[in-house]
Amino acid sequence: GIIIKTVDEIAGRQMDCKCGSAEYRRCRRVL
């Protein structure tokens, strides 16, 4: 999948999430 730079809304830390993965649902895109 596509890797995007995101902020984990639960942990409040930056991470890379794969679009469409389970963890992606708790992440928001960093613009």
Whether residue 19 contacts residue 1, with contact meaning beta carbons closer than 8 Å, is answered with yes
As a whole number of angstroms, the distance between CA 12 and CA 1 comes to: 23
Q: Residue 26 is encoded by which pair of tokens? A: 């708790």
Q: How many CB atoms lie within 10 A of CB 27?
A: 22
Domain ranges of the chain: 1-31
Q: Tell me what pLDDT residue 12 has.
A: 76
Reported as a single tens digit per residue, the pLDDT across 1-31 is 677 777 777 777 787 777 666 666 666 665 4
Q: What residues pair up with 6 in beta bridges, in sequence order?
A: 15, 29
User: What gap in Å lies between CA 14 and CA 8, rounded to an integer?
Assistant: 6
How high is the pLDDT of residue 2?
78
